[in-house]
Amino acid sequence: MITNIILLVLAALEMFFLVWNIKEKRTHLRWKGIARLGLAAVLTVLMIVGVLEGLSRYAGIILALTVLGLLSFVSLRVKGERDIKVSGSVLRAVGSGLLYTAVMLPAIIFPQYKAIVPTGDLNVQTSLYTWTDESRVETYADTGEKRKVTVQMYYPEAAGQYPLAVFSHGAASMIESNDSTCRELASHGYVVAAVAHPYHAIFVEDTDGNVTTIDNEFMRLATGGTIGMSSQELLAIYQDWMSVRTGDMNFVLDTILAKAAKREEGAFERIDPEHIGLFGHSLGGATCEAVGRQREDIDAVIVLEGTVLGDYVGCDGDRLLFNTEPYPLPLLDVNSDFLLTNLAKDYHNTDEYINFYVVKHGVDAREVTLKDAAHMNFCDLPLVSPPLAAMFGTGKRDPRECIQTVNEMVLEYFNYYLKDSGNLALADEY
């Protein structure tokens, strides 16, 4: 909203001077300089008082207005007010508009938004860790280095023993993709560990300040590059992804539990190791479902619109084969009706989609649908960056209300299975 207002003011300013200059056939450099410097001053004051938030969003436009304003006075001093040509005035106005748009891109792509406030009574603290898995060589690099995994911990400020919930982000996402969900859980008495999967995340900054960006080949495959591949090729890719990601999750879980056993300060001394849940979005959801099959210390798993690739176990011609062993622990699979609509085009019956097969044959599994939602409505991206979220798919539903519904659902499910608290009254559709 604020970004749109600024852009409208800038457009109105340029249009005003364009019309005035053409009408009187003069440059009006003095007034244009005053207007630009004045607007830069207003934006600076709004930054100082907190109306505008984020230096990276607005520093560019403030600098551009200041420089253009000063250049107007320099030109006035050197050449004075002069007659103009219509074509020249139009080109200068267009050029200014393009410059304003360019320097406002950070605010356009990542506009100000009101963060979701956790509903729990407990104050939330966070801490960031980067751990090296000495048992694994980094397969996305040819340096022989060991794989490093960065983890964001969310935990109640108050001392106590709380269940552990571990989160895995989606492909080309980031560690903070479900920050509101993690904070909501922590405010209600959970220790939450959000795992960043290096080379699968759009970028990861570790505790030493080193930034690892997404692997180009993984990005290509994860964003449609697998279309047209044979089932054998797909299976190999899926198994590779799952091996890397489940390796990260198991390493993080083992590290956290070892620190909890030693009662290390901060988040670790607050962990109840007897109650552990996993949740993830997209490829992160698939990761959590796979880890749930591998470990005996997990109590519940939530998959937020993620095809459970780990349950593909082989091929029969062009058909991928499913793991037929019943899923052994409580599993909540949440999908959008947008996904369901597309599945109806691709499959003759729901059992042909692996998630529905797993839920149908699970020991304690259930399916929930979000109406008027799409893939990115299961994370915070539609709030943080509406343009980017729209590129990957958002529904007609209000994004704030939608992620709040997801957060409530995750909390209710984990309360029931990790705290033995409340009644699990989830509807089939929201």
The reply to whether 424 falls in a domain is no
Give the tokens for residue 112. 């100000």
In a domain, 116, yes or no: no
* Cβ–Cβ under 8 Å, residues 414 and 190: yes
pLDDT score at 351? 75
Do 100 and 154 sit in the same domain of this protein?
A: no
| Residue 382 placed within a domain | yes
- Report the alpha-carbon distance of residue 332 to residue 302 in Å, rounded: 5
231 and 324 co-located in one domain: yes
Q: What is the total count of domains within the chain?
A: 2
In a domain? residue 115: no
Retrieve residue 8's tokens.
């409208």
Checking if the pLDDT of 82 tops 80, the result is no
94 and 143 fall within a common domain: no
Mean pLDDT score across all residues of the chain: 94
**118 belongs to a structural domain:** no
Interval 199-222 mean pLDDT: 97
**Per-residue confidence at 334, pLDDT binned at 50, 70, 90?**
very high
Instruction: Tell me the C-alpha distance between 239 and 323, whole Å.
Output: 13
Task: Give CA–CA dist 113/53, Å, rounded.
Answer: 9
> Domain check: are 181 and 62 in the same one?
no
Task: Kindly state whether residue 117 falls inside one of the protein's structural domains.
Answer: no
User: How is residue 411 written in tokens?
Assistant: 């909390």
291 and 169 share a domain?
yes
Query: Which residues are within 8 A (CB) of 9 and not within 5 positions of it... i.e. 6 or more apart?
Result: 39
Confidence of residue 226 (pLDDT cuts 50, 70, 90): very high
Q: The domain containing residue 61 runs over which residues?
A: 2-109
Query: Could you say which of 109, 140, 167 is where a domain stops?
Result: 109
pLDDT in tens, 19-77: 888 888 888 888 988 999 999 999 999 999 999 999 999 999 999 999 998 998 888 88
196 and 335 assigned to the same domain: yes
- 274 vs 419: CA distance, rounded Å: 10
Contacts of 303 (CB under 8 A, 6+ apart): 279, 280, 285, 286, 288, 289, 331, 332, 333, 334, 355
Residue that is last in its domain, among 109, 139, 169:
109
Look at residue 344 and tell me whether its pLDDT is greater than 90.
Answer: no
User: What pLDDT does 328 receive?
Assistant: 97
Q: What does the pLDDT read at residue 119?
A: 98
In a shared domain, residues 257 and 289: yes
Q: In this structure, is residue 293 part of a structural domain? A: yes
Nearest-angstrom CA–CA distance, 371 and 375? 12
**Residue 187 is part of a domain; what is its CATH number?**
3.40.50.1820
Residue 376 lies in a domain: yes
Residues 260 and 202 in one domain: yes
Q: Are residues 143 and 274 in the same domain?
A: yes
Query: In angstroms, what CA-CA distances link 18 with 83, 90, 317, 352?
Result: 13, 7, 67, 62
Residue 224 and residue 326 in one domain: yes
Q: What is the pLDDT of residue 422?
A: 80
Same domain, 233 and 151: yes
Beta-carbon contacts of residue 229 (< 8 Å; ≥ 6 apart)? 237
pTM of the model as a whole: 0.91
Burial class (CB in 10 A: 0-12, 13-18, 19+), 134: exposed
Specify whether 132 is located in the same domain as 37: no
Q: Which of 54, 79, 109 is the last residue of a domain?
A: 109
pLDDT in tens, 247-294: 999 999 999 999 999 999 999 999 999 999 999 999 999 999 999 999
For the stretch 305-328, pLDDT in tens is 999 999 999 999 889 999 999 999
* Cα gap 135→120, rounded to integer Å: 39
Give the integer Cα–Cα distance in Å for 54 and 124. 22
